[in-house]
Structure 1
Amino acid sequence: MTLQPHPDKPGITVTCAVVTVSDTRSPETDKSGQLIQQLLLSANHFVVAYTIIKDEPAQIQGQIESLGKNANLDVVLFNGGTGIAPRDTTYDAIEKLLEKTLPGFGELFRFLSYQEIGSRAIASRAVAGVYQNKLIFSLPGSSNAVRLGMEKLILPEITHLVGQMRQ
Protein backbone atom coordinates (compact mmCIF):
# COMPACT_ATOMS: atom_id res chain seq x y z
CA MET A 1 0.00 0.00 0.00
CA THR A 2 1.42 3.36 -1.03
CA LEU A 3 0.37 6.26 1.12
CA GLN A 4 -0.35 9.52 -0.68
CA PRO A 5 0.02 12.90 1.01
CA HIS A 6 -2.92 15.26 1.01
CA PRO A 7 -3.09 17.27 -2.22
CA ASP A 8 -1.11 20.48 -2.53
CA LYS A 9 -2.52 23.76 -3.74
CA PRO A 10 -2.39 23.77 -7.53
CA GLY A 11 -0.05 26.05 -9.42
CA ILE A 12 2.74 26.36 -6.87
CA THR A 13 6.09 26.50 -8.61
CA VAL A 14 9.35 26.35 -6.76
CA THR A 15 12.54 28.21 -7.62
CA CYS A 16 15.61 26.05 -7.12
CA ALA A 17 19.39 26.05 -7.20
CA VAL A 18 21.36 22.86 -7.87
CA VAL A 19 24.85 22.45 -6.43
CA THR A 20 27.07 19.47 -7.18
CA VAL A 21 29.88 18.89 -4.70
CA SER A 22 32.73 17.09 -6.44
CA ASP A 23 36.46 17.30 -6.91
CA THR A 24 36.26 15.61 -10.33
CA ARG A 25 32.96 16.36 -12.11
CA SER A 26 32.45 18.92 -14.83
CA PRO A 27 29.16 20.18 -16.31
CA GLU A 28 29.57 17.55 -19.04
CA THR A 29 30.13 14.63 -16.65
CA ASP A 30 27.77 15.70 -13.87
CA LYS A 31 24.97 13.21 -14.51
CA SER A 32 23.46 13.66 -11.05
CA GLY A 33 23.30 17.45 -11.26
CA GLN A 34 21.78 17.16 -14.73
CA LEU A 35 19.24 14.61 -13.47
CA ILE A 36 18.14 16.85 -10.60
CA GLN A 37 17.60 19.72 -13.04
CA GLN A 38 15.65 17.53 -15.49
CA LEU A 39 13.38 16.17 -12.76
CA LEU A 40 12.68 19.65 -11.39
CA LEU A 41 11.89 21.05 -14.83
CA SER A 42 9.66 18.07 -15.62
CA ALA A 43 7.70 18.86 -12.44
CA ASN A 44 7.25 22.50 -13.62
CA HIS A 45 9.71 24.00 -11.17
CA PHE A 46 12.41 26.54 -12.03
CA VAL A 47 16.17 26.06 -11.87
CA VAL A 48 17.76 29.49 -11.57
CA ALA A 49 21.28 28.47 -10.58
CA TYR A 50 23.56 25.49 -11.15
CA THR A 51 27.16 25.12 -10.09
CA ILE A 52 29.83 22.56 -9.28
CA ILE A 53 32.05 23.23 -6.28
CA LYS A 54 34.93 21.36 -4.67
CA ASP A 55 34.31 19.23 -1.60
CA GLU A 56 35.67 21.91 0.72
CA PRO A 57 33.64 22.95 3.78
CA ALA A 58 34.35 26.66 3.26
CA GLN A 59 33.13 26.49 -0.36
CA ILE A 60 30.01 24.54 0.61
CA GLN A 61 29.13 26.93 3.42
CA GLY A 62 29.95 29.94 1.26
CA GLN A 63 27.58 28.63 -1.41
CA ILE A 64 24.77 28.19 1.13
CA GLU A 65 25.35 31.65 2.59
CA SER A 66 25.41 33.26 -0.85
CA LEU A 67 22.27 31.48 -2.04
CA GLY A 68 20.61 32.23 1.30
CA LYS A 69 20.65 35.93 0.35
CA ASN A 70 18.60 35.35 -2.83
CA ALA A 71 15.07 36.39 -1.91
CA ASN A 72 13.63 34.71 -5.02
CA LEU A 73 15.07 31.28 -4.23
CA ASP A 74 13.04 28.61 -2.41
CA VAL A 75 15.18 25.45 -2.45
CA VAL A 76 18.85 24.50 -2.74
CA LEU A 77 19.59 20.91 -3.74
CA PHE A 78 23.09 19.60 -3.13
CA ASN A 79 24.44 16.29 -4.38
CA GLY A 80 27.74 14.63 -3.55
CA GLY A 81 30.06 14.40 -0.58
CA THR A 82 27.65 12.70 1.83
CA GLY A 83 29.65 9.55 2.59
CA ILE A 84 32.31 8.96 5.22
CA ALA A 85 35.47 9.22 3.12
CA PRO A 86 37.91 11.89 4.32
CA ARG A 87 36.92 14.22 1.43
CA ASP A 88 33.17 13.83 2.10
CA THR A 89 32.43 17.04 3.99
CA THR A 90 29.05 18.11 2.60
CA TYR A 91 26.97 16.84 5.52
CA ASP A 92 29.21 18.43 8.13
CA ALA A 93 29.34 21.79 6.34
CA ILE A 94 25.58 21.97 5.76
CA GLU A 95 24.46 20.59 9.12
CA LYS A 96 26.33 23.33 10.99
CA LEU A 97 24.36 26.06 9.17
CA LEU A 98 20.85 24.62 9.32
CA GLU A 99 18.45 26.58 11.51
CA LYS A 100 15.93 23.71 11.49
CA THR A 101 16.47 20.12 10.44
CA LEU A 102 14.12 17.68 8.77
CA PRO A 103 15.41 14.45 10.33
CA GLY A 104 12.73 12.43 8.56
CA PHE A 105 14.35 13.15 5.21
CA GLY A 106 17.61 11.39 6.06
CA GLU A 107 15.82 8.63 7.91
CA LEU A 108 13.43 7.91 5.04
CA PHE A 109 16.16 8.24 2.44
CA ARG A 110 18.27 5.62 4.20
CA PHE A 111 15.21 3.36 4.63
CA LEU A 112 14.38 3.58 0.92
CA SER A 113 18.03 3.21 0.00
CA TYR A 114 18.31 0.12 2.20
CA GLN A 115 15.55 -1.48 0.15
CA GLU A 116 17.68 -0.96 -2.98
CA ILE A 117 21.28 -1.44 -1.83
CA GLY A 118 21.01 -3.17 1.53
CA SER A 119 23.14 -2.39 4.54
CA ARG A 120 25.47 -0.04 2.63
CA ALA A 121 22.73 2.56 3.09
CA ILE A 122 24.07 3.23 6.60
CA ALA A 123 26.98 5.16 5.05
CA SER A 124 24.65 7.79 3.56
CA ARG A 125 24.50 11.07 5.40
CA ALA A 126 21.66 12.63 3.41
CA VAL A 127 20.30 15.65 5.27
CA ALA A 128 17.68 18.36 4.86
CA GLY A 129 16.60 21.45 6.70
CA VAL A 130 16.08 25.19 6.58
CA TYR A 131 18.58 28.02 6.21
CA GLN A 132 17.54 31.67 5.72
CA ASN A 133 13.99 30.59 4.80
CA LYS A 134 15.32 28.23 2.12
CA LEU A 135 14.89 24.49 2.05
CA ILE A 136 18.23 22.73 1.81
CA PHE A 137 18.45 19.14 0.62
CA SER A 138 21.67 17.15 0.40
CA LEU A 139 21.76 13.86 -1.49
CA PRO A 140 24.55 11.43 -2.32
CA GLY A 141 26.24 11.95 -5.66
CA SER A 142 25.21 8.74 -7.40
CA SER A 143 22.51 9.10 -10.03
CA ASN A 144 20.54 6.19 -8.55
CA ALA A 145 20.52 7.88 -5.13
CA VAL A 146 19.53 11.20 -6.70
CA ARG A 147 16.64 9.61 -8.61
CA LEU A 148 15.46 7.81 -5.45
CA GLY A 149 15.58 10.92 -3.27
CA MET A 150 14.02 13.18 -5.88
CA GLU A 151 11.20 10.87 -6.99
CA LYS A 152 10.28 9.34 -3.63
CA LEU A 153 10.84 12.22 -1.21
CA ILE A 154 11.68 15.65 -2.60
CA LEU A 155 9.35 16.05 -5.57
CA PRO A 156 6.27 14.70 -3.73
CA GLU A 157 6.82 17.17 -0.85
CA ILE A 158 8.63 20.18 -2.28
CA THR A 159 5.56 22.33 -2.97
CA HIS A 160 4.02 21.47 0.41
CA LEU A 161 7.22 22.34 2.27
CA VAL A 162 7.72 25.58 0.35
CA GLY A 163 4.08 26.45 1.01
CA GLN A 164 4.73 25.95 4.72
CA MET A 165 7.78 28.21 4.53
CA ARG A 166 5.82 30.96 2.75
CA GLN A 167 3.18 31.19 5.50
Structure 2
Amino acid sequence: MSQPHPDAAAIVKCAVLTVSDTRTPDTDKSGDLMRSRLATAPHQVIASALLKDEPESVRSQIAQWVAMPNIDAILINGGTGIAPRDTTYEAIAALLTKTLPGFGELFRMLSYEQIGSRAMASRAIAGVCRSTLIFSTPGSSKAVELAMDRLILPELIHLTTQMRG
Protein backbone atom coordinates (compact mmCIF):
# COMPACT_ATOMS: atom_id res chain seq x y z
CA MET A 1 0.00 0.00 0.00
CA SER A 2 1.41 3.39 -0.95
CA GLN A 3 2.00 5.99 1.72
CA PRO A 4 1.42 9.73 1.43
CA HIS A 5 4.46 11.87 0.81
CA PRO A 6 5.61 13.38 4.13
CA ASP A 7 4.68 16.95 3.21
CA ALA A 8 3.04 19.22 5.71
CA ALA A 9 -0.70 18.78 5.86
CA ALA A 10 -2.48 21.04 3.41
CA ILE A 11 -5.91 21.37 1.94
CA VAL A 12 -5.90 21.10 -1.84
CA LYS A 13 -8.63 22.98 -3.67
CA CYS A 14 -10.12 20.84 -6.41
CA ALA A 15 -12.66 20.74 -9.21
CA VAL A 16 -14.40 17.51 -10.21
CA LEU A 17 -15.64 16.85 -13.74
CA THR A 18 -17.66 13.84 -14.85
CA VAL A 19 -17.70 13.26 -18.60
CA SER A 20 -20.59 11.02 -19.65
CA ASP A 21 -23.28 10.83 -22.29
CA THR A 22 -25.51 8.76 -20.01
CA ARG A 23 -25.08 9.95 -16.41
CA THR A 24 -27.18 12.56 -14.68
CA PRO A 25 -26.47 14.37 -11.41
CA ASP A 26 -28.59 11.69 -9.70
CA THR A 27 -26.68 8.76 -11.22
CA ASP A 28 -23.15 10.20 -11.11
CA LYS A 29 -21.71 7.70 -8.63
CA SER A 30 -18.12 8.23 -9.78
CA GLY A 31 -18.31 12.01 -9.42
CA ASP A 32 -19.89 11.54 -5.99
CA LEU A 33 -17.09 9.14 -5.07
CA MET A 34 -14.40 11.65 -6.10
CA ARG A 35 -16.06 14.45 -4.15
CA SER A 36 -16.53 12.23 -1.11
CA ARG A 37 -12.93 10.98 -1.08
CA LEU A 38 -11.62 14.54 -1.47
CA ALA A 39 -13.80 15.82 1.39
CA THR A 40 -12.71 12.97 3.66
CA ALA A 41 -9.01 13.61 2.95
CA PRO A 42 -9.84 16.56 3.82
CA HIS A 43 -9.53 18.65 0.67
CA GLN A 44 -11.95 21.19 -0.69
CA VAL A 45 -14.15 20.80 -3.78
CA ILE A 46 -14.44 24.32 -5.22
CA ALA A 47 -16.35 23.39 -8.39
CA SER A 48 -18.05 20.41 -9.97
CA ALA A 49 -19.69 19.69 -13.32
CA LEU A 50 -21.14 16.91 -15.45
CA LEU A 51 -20.70 17.23 -19.22
CA LYS A 52 -21.43 15.16 -22.30
CA ASP A 53 -18.35 13.70 -23.99
CA GLU A 54 -17.84 16.63 -26.35
CA PRO A 55 -14.16 17.65 -26.58
CA GLU A 56 -14.87 21.37 -26.99
CA SER A 57 -17.09 21.45 -23.90
CA VAL A 58 -14.53 19.50 -21.88
CA ARG A 59 -11.66 21.76 -22.99
CA SER A 60 -13.72 24.88 -22.31
CA GLN A 61 -14.61 23.74 -18.77
CA ILE A 62 -11.01 22.82 -18.00
CA ALA A 63 -9.78 26.17 -19.36
CA GLN A 64 -12.26 28.01 -17.11
CA TRP A 65 -11.09 26.12 -14.04
CA VAL A 66 -7.39 26.45 -14.90
CA ALA A 67 -7.91 30.22 -15.07
CA MET A 68 -9.23 30.25 -11.50
CA PRO A 69 -6.33 30.83 -9.09
CA ASN A 70 -8.15 29.06 -6.25
CA ILE A 71 -8.21 25.66 -8.03
CA ASP A 72 -5.08 23.54 -7.53
CA ALA A 73 -6.23 20.31 -9.18
CA ILE A 74 -8.90 19.08 -11.58
CA LEU A 75 -10.11 15.49 -11.26
CA ILE A 76 -11.97 14.06 -14.25
CA ASN A 77 -13.75 10.74 -14.65
CA GLY A 78 -15.16 9.22 -17.81
CA GLY A 79 -14.48 9.12 -21.54
CA THR A 80 -11.06 7.47 -21.37
CA GLY A 81 -11.83 4.26 -23.27
CA ILE A 82 -11.57 3.57 -26.99
CA ALA A 83 -15.23 3.75 -28.00
CA PRO A 84 -15.97 6.36 -30.68
CA ARG A 85 -17.54 8.73 -28.11
CA ASP A 86 -14.59 8.41 -25.68
CA THR A 87 -12.75 11.65 -26.45
CA THR A 88 -11.74 12.89 -23.01
CA TYR A 89 -8.13 11.78 -23.50
CA GLU A 90 -7.75 13.84 -26.67
CA ALA A 91 -9.41 16.87 -25.08
CA ILE A 92 -7.08 16.77 -22.08
CA ALA A 93 -3.83 15.73 -23.78
CA ALA A 94 -3.98 18.81 -26.01
CA LEU A 95 -4.04 21.08 -22.94
CA LEU A 96 -1.19 19.56 -20.93
CA THR A 97 2.11 21.43 -20.81
CA LYS A 98 3.68 18.63 -18.77
CA THR A 99 2.58 15.03 -18.54
CA LEU A 100 2.84 12.58 -15.67
CA PRO A 101 3.16 9.33 -17.63
CA GLY A 102 3.65 7.38 -14.41
CA PHE A 103 0.04 8.01 -13.44
CA GLY A 104 -1.39 6.19 -16.45
CA GLU A 105 1.25 3.49 -16.25
CA LEU A 106 0.63 2.80 -12.56
CA PHE A 107 -3.13 2.99 -12.99
CA ARG A 108 -3.05 0.36 -15.74
CA MET A 109 -0.70 -1.83 -13.69
CA LEU A 110 -2.99 -1.69 -10.66
CA SER A 111 -6.06 -2.17 -12.87
CA TYR A 112 -4.46 -5.23 -14.42
CA GLU A 113 -4.33 -6.79 -10.95
CA GLN A 114 -8.11 -6.30 -10.67
CA ILE A 115 -9.47 -6.79 -14.19
CA GLY A 116 -6.70 -8.44 -16.17
CA SER A 117 -5.81 -7.58 -19.74
CA ARG A 118 -8.83 -5.28 -20.18
CA ALA A 119 -6.73 -2.68 -18.34
CA MET A 120 -4.87 -1.98 -21.58
CA ALA A 121 -7.96 -0.18 -22.95
CA SER A 122 -7.73 2.52 -20.27
CA ARG A 123 -6.33 5.84 -21.38
CA ALA A 124 -6.02 7.33 -17.90
CA ILE A 125 -3.82 10.42 -18.09
CA ALA A 126 -2.43 13.10 -15.79
CA GLY A 127 -0.34 16.19 -16.11
CA VAL A 128 -0.15 19.93 -15.67
CA CYS A 129 -1.95 22.72 -17.48
CA ARG A 130 -0.29 25.98 -16.51
CA SER A 131 0.00 25.47 -12.75
CA THR A 132 -3.02 23.19 -12.28
CA LEU A 133 -2.77 19.42 -11.87
CA ILE A 134 -5.16 17.37 -13.97
CA PHE A 135 -6.02 13.72 -13.39
CA SER A 136 -8.31 11.83 -15.74
CA THR A 137 -9.63 8.38 -14.83
CA PRO A 138 -12.10 5.98 -16.38
CA GLY A 139 -15.71 6.53 -15.34
CA SER A 140 -16.37 3.28 -13.50
CA SER A 141 -16.68 3.63 -9.74
CA LYS A 142 -14.12 0.85 -9.19
CA ALA A 143 -11.61 2.68 -11.41
CA VAL A 144 -12.22 5.96 -9.59
CA GLU A 145 -11.84 4.25 -6.23
CA LEU A 146 -8.56 2.66 -7.32
CA ALA A 147 -7.16 5.90 -8.73
CA MET A 148 -8.23 8.01 -5.75
CA ASP A 149 -7.12 5.62 -3.00
CA ARG A 150 -3.91 4.26 -4.47
CA LEU A 151 -2.56 7.11 -6.63
CA ILE A 152 -4.18 10.53 -6.41
CA LEU A 153 -4.85 11.06 -2.70
CA PRO A 154 -1.48 9.69 -1.51
CA GLU A 155 0.37 12.23 -3.72
CA LEU A 156 -2.03 15.16 -4.12
CA ILE A 157 -0.47 17.37 -1.45
CA HIS A 158 3.07 16.61 -2.59
CA LEU A 159 2.32 17.31 -6.24
CA THR A 160 0.45 20.56 -5.57
CA THR A 161 3.25 21.68 -3.24
CA GLN A 162 5.73 21.10 -6.08
CA MET A 163 3.52 23.07 -8.47
CA ARG A 164 3.61 26.07 -6.14
CA GLY A 165 7.41 26.01 -6.25
TM over 0.5: yes
Bin of the TM-score, shorter chain as denominator length: over 0.9
Q: Which amino acid aligns with 1:9?
A: A
Q: How does 1:120-159 map to 2 (within 5 A)?
A: 120-159=118-157
Q: Which amino acid aligns with 1:54?
A: K
1:64 paired to 2:58: no
- The TM-score, its normalising length taken from structure 1, stands at 0.96
Q: How does 1:4-153 map to 2 (within 5 A)?
A: 4=3, 6-10=5-9, 12-153=10-151
Q: Which amino acid aligns with 1:28?
A: D
CA–CA distance in structure 1, aligned partners of residues 22 and 51 of structure 2: 10
CA–CA distance in structure 1, aligned partners of residues 2 and 82 of structure 2: 32
What's the secondary structure of 1:97's corresponding residue? coil
1:51-72 Cα offsets, whole Å, 9 max, x none, are 1001011011111111111001
TM-superposed CA distance for 1:76, in Å, is 0.3
Contact kept? 2:16, 2:49, Cα under 8 Å? yes
- The TM-score, its normalising length taken from structure 2, stands at 0.98
TM-superposed CA distance for 1:4, in Å, is 3.5
CA–CA distance in structure 1, aligned partners of residues 103 and 30 of structure 2: 19
Q: Which amino acid aligns with 1:47?
A: V
**Percent of residue pairs identical:** 61
Q: Which residue of 1 aligns with 2:160?
A: 162
CA–CA distance in structure 2, aligned partners of residues 104 and 91 of structure 1: 16
1:65-95 Cα offsets, whole Å, 9 max, x none, are 1111100100000000000000000001100
